[in-house]
């Protein structure tokens, strides 16, 4: 893998590169809250800042190496999906598995075909049109996680889970379609019925490898005692990368393998669980920023002007026609009401995966690859602006937002090397909570259960018998697993970490 000589060949250029990239990352982090309040997906900020720092921007960084972009983008995507899997419960997957799988396969194929027809109508040759449809046919897990988990948006569980799970498992279909089109355009493989079998085989192999690596990771984390806590996230990262590579070498979906391995690890009591999830969350956000900044550097704004008209038209067609026509037949049989179907139809955010896939034609020397890449980039940006920028308003108008309590000003957690026989849970007290207004001495706790700490605004309150639980309090409570049902009967559902 060769690095761009204009950036790394001299120490001065390397230092300048580090300064510019550091400044871009800092600006991305500092203005992320502002973009979130404006309702604009944060990934758009990363892309735009990358363009500003590029060869035609004020940064002047020259970066045109598609091979490096593809490899670094894939690494970043692995980190993002691994974090997403760690925070996904098996129960949520079971709830939406079949509708999400149908959208990730049939829905992606329908989207690709409809967009190809639209692109052909705008003057692209059939090979380019079909390639473009394949590349942008899937939604993007990185962009979806950034919007649904990174900001102030809180969707009703089934809707949010459907969108998230779909974005995590629809990439194999887009990858198969893209590689098939490239092989057909380069004359190395004719179109045929094998395409129908490739997707389920890739998903099955990827899921099998991922589950196996996840279980192996659990065994390793529980039985191997590492000399320092800092090596535990290094070990989990190792299993993530091995899962991706092994599944890919076995002609399966590496993306599915990473996600499945993370789900297994995230739903098992593993050492230092809280600390690990926070480290992987930080790595995922750093990957988000770095990946989209890099893709922004890869684009020349002057070249985008040539495809602006077609890009806008295709982005609008994708959002208002292709995506809804693909989603409604897939979800309607599962009892989704009209407003949820409408919402899922519009929330089809494109991001890193389409851009990564768009580098494949350039690496294969496909005719028209540059034009396809620019169109893909334009569609990704347009999908972040519309409907991305309308997500929060649309969520409130349709009544799909789920009320969530405010986050506590202090977080209490326990990190242990071995699984403990007990749970430390956090509960938000509101007026409807059974124990609201009650002193702790009057609450009959099960043996072995006790309130540990009360967080009230900016104050930490020691849990004593005369401490009265008030609406707005965040209560940290320790109990045994067998008493969890009793605890939730009085305190409600625990807060998410």
Min mean pLDDT across 214-228, 237-251, 288-302, 315-329 is at: 288-302
Helix axes 254-266, 194-223, angle to 10 degrees: 30
Residues 6 or more apart from 407 whose CB is under 8 A from it?
A: none
| DSSP label of 446 | P
In tens, the pLDDT along 224-234 reads 888 888 899 99
In tens, the pLDDT along 472-482 reads 999 999 998 88
- Helix intervals (H) in 186-272: 194-223, 231-249, 254-266
- Helix intervals (H) in 301-450: 301-304, 308-317, 323-331, 338-346, 352-364, 369-385, 391-397
> What is the arithmetic mean of pLDDT over 281-297?
83
> What is the arithmetic mean of pLDDT over 390-419?
78
> What is the arithmetic mean of pLDDT over 22-48?
72
What is the band of 35 on the pLDDT scale with cuts at 50, 70, 90?
low
Percent of the chain with pLDDT over 70: 91
- What is residue 38's predicted lDDT score, i.e. its pLDDT? 61
In tens, the pLDDT along 133-189 reads 999 998 877 777 767 765 566 788 889 889 888 988 887 788 888 888 888 888 776
What is the band of 196 on the pLDDT scale with cuts at 50, 70, 90?
low
434 versus 29: which is more confidently predicted? 434
What is the band of 5 on the pLDDT scale with cuts at 50, 70, 90?
very low
Residue 387: cis peptide before it, omega within 30 degrees of 0 = yes
What is the band of 410 on the pLDDT scale with cuts at 50, 70, 90?
confident
- What is residue 6's predicted lDDT score, i.e. its pLDDT? 45
Residue 231's alpha-carbon distances to 271, 275, 382, 453, 495, in angstroms, are 11, 12, 41, 31, 29
In tens, the pLDDT along 325-340 reads 999 999 999 999 999 9
485 has a pLDDT exceeding 90: no
Between CA 133 and CA 119 the distance in angstroms is: 8
155: tokens are: 């969707």
Min mean pLDDT across 1-10, 11-20, 238-247 is at: 1-10
| Average pLDDT of the chain to the nearest whole number | 84
175 versus 219: which is more confidently predicted? 219
25 versus 225: which is more confidently predicted? 225
Residues 6 or more apart from 33 whose CB is under 8 A from it?
A: none
- What is residue 190's predicted lDDT score, i.e. its pLDDT? 65
In tens, the pLDDT along 92-139 reads 888 899 999 999 889 999 999 999 999 999 999 999 999 999 999 988
CB 113 within 8 A of CB 322: no
CA 97 to chain centre: 17
The domains located in the chain, with CATH, are: 11-397 (1.20.1530.20), 423-491 (3.30.70.1450)
- What is residue 184's predicted lDDT score, i.e. its pLDDT? 85
Widest pairwise Cα distance in the chain = 79
258 versus 382: which is more confidently predicted? 258
């Amino acid at each position: 893998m060769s690095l761009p000589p204009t950036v790394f060949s001299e120490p001065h250029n390397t230092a300048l590169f580090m300064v510019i990239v550091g400044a871009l990352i800092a600006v991305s982090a500092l203005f992320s809250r502002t973009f979130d309040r404006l309702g604009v997906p944060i990934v758009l900020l990363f892309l735009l800042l990358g363009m500003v720092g590029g060869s035609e921007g004020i940064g002047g960084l020259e970066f045109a190496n598609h091979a490096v972009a593809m490899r670094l983008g894939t690494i970043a995507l692995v980190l993002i999906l691994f974090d997403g899997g760690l925070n996904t419960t098996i129960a949520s997957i079971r709830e939406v598995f079949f509708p999400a799988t149908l959208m990730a396969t049939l829905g992606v194929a329908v989207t690709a075909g409809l967009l190809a027809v639209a692109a052909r109508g705008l003057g692209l040759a059939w090979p380019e049109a079909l390639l473009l449809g394949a590349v942008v046919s899937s939604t993007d897990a990185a962009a979806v996680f950034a919007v649904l988990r990174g900001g102030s948006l809180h969707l009703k569980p089934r809707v949010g889970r459907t969108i998230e799970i779909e974005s995590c498992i629809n990439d194999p279909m887009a990858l198969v379609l893209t590689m098939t089109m490239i092989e057909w355009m380069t004359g190395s493989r004719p179109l045929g019925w094998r395409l129908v079998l490739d997707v389920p085989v890739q998903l099955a192999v990827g899921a099998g490898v991922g589950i196996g690596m996840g279980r192996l990771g659990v065994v390793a984390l529980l039985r191997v005692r590492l000399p320092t806590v800092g090596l535990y996230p290094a070990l989990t990262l190792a299993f993530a990368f091995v899962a991706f590579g092994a599944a890919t070498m076995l002609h399966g979906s590496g993306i599915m393998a990473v996600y499945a391995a993370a789900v297994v690890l995230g739903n098992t009591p593993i050492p230092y669980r809280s600390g690990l999830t926070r480290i992987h969350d930080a790595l995922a956000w750093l990957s988000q920023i770095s990946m989209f900044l890099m893709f922004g550097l890869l684009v020349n704004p002057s070249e985008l002007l040539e495809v602006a008209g077609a890009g806008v038209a295709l982005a609008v067609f994708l959002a208002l026609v292709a995506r809804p026509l693909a989603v409604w037949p897939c979800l309607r049989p599962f009892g989704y009401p009209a407003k949820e179907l409408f919402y899922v139809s519009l929330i089809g955010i494109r991001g890193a995966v389409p851009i990564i896939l768009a580098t494949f034609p350039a690496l294969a020397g496909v005719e028209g690859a540059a034009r396809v890449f620019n169109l893909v980039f334009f569609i990704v940006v347009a999908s972040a602006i519309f409907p991305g920028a309308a997500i929060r308003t649309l969520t409130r108008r349709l009544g799909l937002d789920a009320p969530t309590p405010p986050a506590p000003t202090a977080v209490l957690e326990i990190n242990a090397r071995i699984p403990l026989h007990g749970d430390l849970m956090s509960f938000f007290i509101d007026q409807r909570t059974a124990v609201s207004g009650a002193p702790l001495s009057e609450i009959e706790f099960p043996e072995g259960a006790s309130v540990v700490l009360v967080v009230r605004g900016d104050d930490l309150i020691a849990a004593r018998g005369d401490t009265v639980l008030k609406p707005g309090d965040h209560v940290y409570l320790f109990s045994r697993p067998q008493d969890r049902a009793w605890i939730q009967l009085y305190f409600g559902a625990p807060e998410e970490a």
